[in-house]
Amino acid sequence: INICFLVKEQELRGSPSLSLILVCGFQALYVMDALWHEEAILTTMDIVHDGFGFMLAFGDLCWVPFTYSLQGYFLVRHPQELDIPVAVGIVLLNAVGYIVFRESNSQKNTFRRNPADPRVARLETIPTATGKRLLVSGWWIVRHPNLGDLIMAL
């Protein structure tokens, strides 16, 4: 969908704006990350506990494409010009958010797959009612919201 917005802006203005290019690039990175780290998605609560149903199907087929395309749609309808220093700041902020996002999610996935792994064995945990352990330290300090996602959303 975002590629369509790039094409539309090309038609309307002769070239896509830097702001739209950044939005599309950041979202492409997020999607490629999900594809590259697909095995980690299989350990998330959505898959493990909720299973496949209306929420997962509706979310993947309707909600995610709709919400991910809102920024691109807005930028085509209301172009925003960025100066290079501002764009560099946005790229750096997104890079910091991505690093926190990737490291925290990798740590969660490692813990879910093998809590005895030396990379996560030292982290503090608390027992749950089901007998499993819940991380309370490390990159993943709070369960929701994820800090990396928030930084990237800025």
Number of domains comprising the chain: 2
| 3-class secondary structure, 39 | helix
Domain identity same for 153 and 98: yes
Structural domain boundaries, residue 153: 85-154
Q: Tens digit of pLDDT for each residue in 31-88? A: 899 889 888 877 777 777 777 788 888 888 888 889 889 999 999 999 999 999 999 9
Domain identity same for 73 and 11: yes
Domain-terminating residue out of 82, 107, 141:
82
What single-letter amino acid sits at 56? L
Strand 133-135 and strand 125-127: the pairing is: antiparallel
CA 1 → CA 18, 78, 112, distances in Å?
17, 17, 34
Q: Tens digit of pLDDT for each residue in 71-130? A: 999 999 999 999 999 999 999 999 998 888 888 888 888 888 888 899 888 888 888 888
Is residue 14 a contact partner of residue 77, using CB atoms and an 8 Å limit?
no
Residue 148 CA neighbour count, 13 Å, CB half: 17
Domain-terminating residue out of 43, 61, 82:
82
Q: Tens digit of pLDDT for each residue in 8-21? A: 999 999 999 999 99
